[in-house]
Amino acid sequence: MSTERTADVATAGTSAGPVLTASGLRAAYGPTVAVDDVALSVGSGEVLGIAGESGCGKSTLAAVLSLTARPPLSVLGGELTVDGERLDLSGGRKPPRTWRGGVVSLLPQGAMNALSATAKVGDVAVDVVRAHRGRVPRGVALDLLADRLDALDLPRRVIGAYPHQLSGGMRQRVVTVLSTLLDPRLLIADEPTSALDVSTQRALVDLLRELVRRGLVGGIVFVTHDLPVLRAVADRIAIMYAGRIVETGPTADMVDDPRHPYTAALLSSVLVPEPQVRRRRIGGIRGAPPDLADPPAGCRFHPRCSLAMDVCTTTPPVVGDAEAYATCWWTKDHPDEPLERSL
Amino acid sequence: MTTDDVPLLAGEHLARTFGRGKDAVRAVDDVSITLNAGEVTTVVGESGSGKSTLARLLLKLLPPSGGRLLLDGRDVTTGADTTAYWRDVQAVFQDPFSAFNQFFTVRRLLARARRLLGAELTEERVNTALEQVGLRPADVLGRYPHQLSGGQRQRVMIARALLMRPRVLIADEATSMLDASLRATILNVLTDLRSESGLAILFITHDIGQACYVSDRVLVMSNGRVVESGPTDEVIFAPSHEYTRRLLADVPRLHG
Amino acid sequence: MTRFTPRFYVAAAIVAAVLLFGVLGPLVFSGHELGTVVGGLYDHPSGRLWLGTDNIGHDVFTNLMYGTRTSLVIGLVAGALATLIGVVVGTLAGYRGGALEEALMGVTNVILAIPSIVVLILISIALGTRSTVAMAVVLGVTSWPWTARAVRAQAASVRTREHLDVARLSGAGTMSLICYDVVPYMLSYLCMAFVLQVSSAVLNEAALSMLGLGPSGGVSLGIMLHWALAWESVRTGAWWAFVPPTLLLTLLAFALLMLQSSLDEVFNPRLRRFLRRRRPAATPTAEAA
């Protein structure tokens, strides 16, 4: 069934199989199940964008995928396969220590403030390398950082700099380099661009694309509420609503022809400096997201959906394949009709 | 008193310097801005551009180090009567949580306007203000901020400003912490007020998409100065200044 | 919202027990009047005199109860006074900023720089008769600068919060802003500062009293120690004269400090993330692919 793979396949960028496959992920804060039966995959060299509004479970999913879930968040179940290695998350089992940072790395929210104010960037790099590779000489670790900075066209001067000597955007990029220094197979980026100006946002997006292009990172899961940013960074997008993925597919297809009403509503409320935004009135989505301690039956979006039918209170069908699907009754009935015109 | 050629609120050569001597930072440097009744103006800028300082100057929450502030053509730069000024000029801020005093219910929060409004502050007026932003008074009046959703909190903040029946509303990043679907709703509430009551609205934001959606005129700020201003279509779709062009080029688009 | 930790309950229980001992003790164990001679010099503890007698034949247990009461009264009054002055000075300085802040903090730093024990000794000598309250006032007015400095920093950070701008725009005046928008945001902090001030006042009282500068005409834990030392109880082996007050002082100071640090945990939940009981994982759902 699952192919057994050994260490020699781990050379960067050469494996053709997915970097990550996850299935049945469930995680909860007490009675609130914030991530409910989520499955996803990230191909080699791929950036998967996960989008949704606050409270949809996207940050919880990031914590589960990056193995950084800690109380009050508890992982109830699920399975991760990273580069052929399986990890069972059920029953509160602990991930092996070597996974965190080495195999899976997290670029957290507000990462630009994550650096210690009293340590030079180079010192942090030495600590990072030693934490995973044991007694590495200082020079070796610093060389690794210098090579990485060269490869990514970032100035070497940051090695000897304290965080306050760097601009916010540069700090953010430095943290990104540090968190990928050990060539993790999978990088989980949780809202890394939210607090940034557009110019630094763009620089970070370029840096992340460069990291996957060079195979320094096997794949990236990029979590954000900002769809235009995803348009720029992601190969594929998954839209989350109320703890579940309601639609996924290649970025361009999703943006041009959304197949789930929630995706369509989300896209139409995006404000970008494009002429069509100036001409029409943007409605927003009526109602509020459901209480995840007691979610609505069937399609969780149906109480807010203008296309809802009686059948929507039963579990919606998966229309499409594992790579590109929407969970919607309306889409099942109208496979070729563009959704936007019907809303 | 108001004539057509006198702007409702005008800042002339406003400046504000923080610190002294070598460390002095010119947060706002010779900025002139006019706000007219029924018009939506947006100041866009990146962090550190001085746009929030400009908002505080216009709100008289911070004294300017130079320039004048004119309301209906009257110089109000140094006038001590800020309470009268705040009946005409009100604001909504960025963070709908930290803008609340967490120990106050919505009712008490709104009742603080008594010092400005005196006997004019009636139960009816409070209810009207809440209804204007789409809230049911009975639902929210008795609640504490942590019992409200993010959207409700920001609506209460708008209702608080509307309670004064101001003629100018300054929204400093008022929607930047809200989800996209909610942001559109809040922006619609505000722009509808403009058409209904001739409110002059000033949005201060880093979000060029939002400026594009709501505003009649746009000012672009960088390093404390206004580098470009004009009608929205001109500034956003045919920018003339180098900085504006660069800024627009970095904004991620949804199509194409 | 706020959850108390076991440490808090332990500390609060000890403080409460000492309080009860000082307040209700004399009513419950009313066998001997304070200040009456019931035995000889350093009588051993016995069934009648649980902790023996002191150097002038007074019952040590009775002294201990009234002494605890005096120490607590001085601690609480001095703590309240120091906190009050500290809050007023600190809040004004932190909220108003500018020249007022410079002036107030200048005064604060000057008072802070003067060794307080010297001031205490001088004031204590200057006051011919020292009542318990006078003692407390002296301790209070010399120890507020720490609180003032800490409160100033807090107030200065609260000052920049958006809700103050909102309140100003609603027309709130300065007093209203300070009372409703600044001070409530520091309440948890003030709680801790108060507890800290109480414990230091109790210890300072003991120190002054041991030097013979305690409240005149009464008994406090420090005065008990003063007499025990003066009358050579240590050399003669009369442990009951100095061990009980020492233990009680240590216990009280320890419990107050523990209360302060556990309040810190309660108000800043990040400090206690490891104390939260681990929730047993709910039924793992078998998701066989």
Query: In angstroms, what separates the C-alpha of B211 from chain A's closest C-alpha?
Result: 8
B252 contact residues in A (CB cutoff 8 A): 198, 201-202, 205, 226, 228-229, 231-232, 272
pLDDT tier at C271, thresholds 50, 70, 90: very low
Nearest CA in chain C to A89: C284
Query: In angstroms, what separates the C-alpha of B72 from chain C's closest C-alpha?
Result: 20
CA distances from B201 to B116, B171, B212 (A): 21, 7, 14
Inter-chain touch A77–C273, beta carbons under 8 Å: no
DSSP A99: T
Angle at A309 between CA A306 and CA A315, to 5 degrees: 110
Q: How far apart are CA B108 and CA B95, in angstroms?
A: 19
Instruction: Find the length of chain A.
Output: 343
Mean pLDDT by 10 residues, chain A (343 residues): 38 62 90 90 93 89 88 87 85 72 82 79 88 84 88 87 85 88 90 83 89 90 92 94 94 92 90 85 82 89 89 87 88 82 66
Q: Helices C60-96 and C132-159: crossing angle, nearest 10°?
A: 30
CB nearest to C163's CB, from B94, B100, B113: B100
Inter-chain touch C287–A77, beta carbons under 8 Å: yes
Nearest CA in chain C to B159: C170
Instruction: Find the length of chain C.
Output: 289
Q: Helices C239-267 and C60-96: crossing angle, nearest 10°?
A: 30
Residue with tokens 């000057």: C110
pLDDT tier at C281, thresholds 50, 70, 90: very low
Strand ordering across the sheet containing B217-222: B89-92, B168-172, B200-205, B40-44, B217-222, B225-231
| Centroid of chain to Cα A202 | 17
First-last CA distance in chain B: 51
pLDDT tier at C48, thresholds 50, 70, 90: confident
Phi, psi of B181 (to 5 degrees): -70, -35
CA distances from B99 to B76, B107, B160, B174, C167 (A): 26, 15, 11, 11, 9
| Lowest-confidence segment of B58-72, B80-94, C38-52 by average pLDDT | C38-52
CA distances from B169 to A74, A271, B117, C58, C278 (A): 45, 21, 17, 77, 49
Residue-level pLDDT at A74: 87
CB nearest to B181's CB, from A168, A265, A273: A265
Q: What proportion of chain C, given as a percentage, has pLDDT over 70?
A: 90
Residue-level pLDDT at A93: 66
Q: List the beta strands (DSSP E) in chain A.
A: 20-29, 32-42, 47-51, 73-82, 85-88, 104-107, 186-190, 219-224, 236-241, 244-250, 318-320, 325-327
Residue-level pLDDT at B97: 75
Residue-level pLDDT at C283: 28
Residue-level pLDDT at C84: 94
- The pLDDT tens digits for B178-205 are 888 888 888 988 888 888 888 999 999 9
Q: Is A78 on the interface with C (CB under 8 A)?
A: yes
Residue-level pLDDT at A337: 80
Contact at 8 Å (CB) between B28 and B15?
yes
Nearest CA in chain C to B56: C165
A92 contact residues in C (CB cutoff 8 A): 281
Q: Is B221 helix (H, G, I), strand (E, B) or coil?
A: strand
Contact at 8 Å (CB) between B121 and B113?
yes
User: Is the pLDDT score of B220 beyond 60?
Assistant: yes
- Listed in sequence order, the residues at least 6 apart from A222 whose beta carbon sits closer than 8 Å to its beta carbon are A47, A48, A49, A50, A189, A192, A208, A230, A233, A234
Q: What proportion of chain B, given as a percentage, has pLDDT over 90?
A: 56
If 0-12 CB within 10 Å is exposed, 13-18 middle and 19+ buried, where does residue A86 land?
Answer: exposed
User: Is the pLDDT score of C37 beyond 80?
Assistant: no
- The pLDDT tens digits for B33-46 are 999 999 999 999 98
Pick the residue with more confidence: B134 or A252? A252
Query: In angstroms, what separates the C-alpha of C186 from chain A's closest C-alpha?
Result: 26
Residue-level pLDDT at C277: 36
Q: Is A68 on the interface with C (CB under 8 A)?
A: no
Size of interface A-C (CB pairs under 8 A): 38
Query: In angstroms, what separates the C-alpha of C257 from chain A's closest C-alpha?
Result: 29
Contacting chains of C (3 CB pairs or more, <8 Å) are A, B
Q: Is C287 on the interface with A (CB under 8 A)?
A: yes
Inter-chain touch A201–B250, beta carbons under 8 Å: yes
- Listed in sequence order, the residues at least 6 apart from A213 whose beta carbon sits closer than 8 Å to its beta carbon are A45
- The pLDDT tens digits for C140-182 are 888 889 899 999 998 988 888 888 999 999 988 888 899 888 9
Residues of B with CB under 8 A from a CB of C: 56, 59, 61, 83, 86, 90-91, 93-95, 98-104, 109, 112-117, 157, 160-161
Inter-chain touch C278–A71, beta carbons under 8 Å: yes
User: Is the pLDDT score of B122 beyond 50?
Assistant: yes
A275 contact residues in B (CB cutoff 8 A): 237
Residue-level pLDDT at A341: 65
Q: List the beta strands (DSSP E) in A132-233.
A: 186-190, 219-224
Residue-level pLDDT at A262: 93
Residue-level pLDDT at B217: 95
